[in-house]
Amino acid sequence: MREQILEILQELRPDVDFENETALITDGILESFDIVALVGELSDAFGVELHVADLVPDNFNSVDGMISLIEKLRDDE
């Protein structure tokens, strides 16, 4: 899953070092329109449905955050 998320992120923002960033939202590295695109890509790639309550910085600040979000969403289904 990590590889696949990294691929999506690299495609979205080739200039960012996603392996090592842990404050993508808090430091303003990702912008609101990146999030819109990312939410769409993640939903399609992993067959999960993201809700507005999932859109909090912890879930998107790092690749690890995104992995746990997707795992949580899969468990809920």
Partner 1 sequence: MDKSVLNWLQRTAAQSPDKTAYSDVDSSVKFSDVLKYARSVGTAAAKRNTAGKPVAVFAGRSCLTPAVFLGVVFGGSCYAPIDGKLPKNRISRILDNLDPALIIADRAYEESISQLALDCDVLFTEDILDVPADEELLSEIAENANENDPLYIIFTSGSTGNPKGVVTSHHSLMCYIDAYSEVMGIEPDDVLGNQSPLDYIAAIRDIYLPLYTGCSTVILPKEYFMEPARLFDFMTERGVTAVGWSVSAMTVPASLGAFEHGRPEHLKKICFSGSVMPNRCLRTWQENMPDAMFVNQYGPTEATASCTCYRVTEKADDGYVLPIGKAYKNYRVFLLNEDNTATPPGEKGEICVSGPILALGYYNDPERTHKSFVQNPLNKSYNELIYKTGDIGRLRADGNMEFHGRKDRQIKHMGHRVELDEIESACDKIEGVDECCALYDSENERIVLFHSGAANVRDIASGLRKDLPGFMVPRKFIYLEALPRLANGKTDMTALKQRMK
Task: Give me the least distance between CB of 37 and partner 1, in Å please.
Answer: 7
Q: Could you tell me the smallest distance in angstroms from the CB atom of residue 44 to partner 1?
A: 13
26 interacts with partner 1 by CB under 8 A: yes
74: region left, alpha or beta (phi > 0 left; psi from -120 to 50 alpha)? alpha
Cα 45 from Cα 67, distance rounded (Å): 12
Cα–Cα distance between 36 and 39 in angstroms, integer? Answer: 5
Contact between 77 and partner 1 by CB under 8 A: the answer reads no
The footprint of partner 1 on this chain (CB under 8 A) covers a number of residues equal to 25
Per CB under 8 A, 33 contacts partner 1: yes
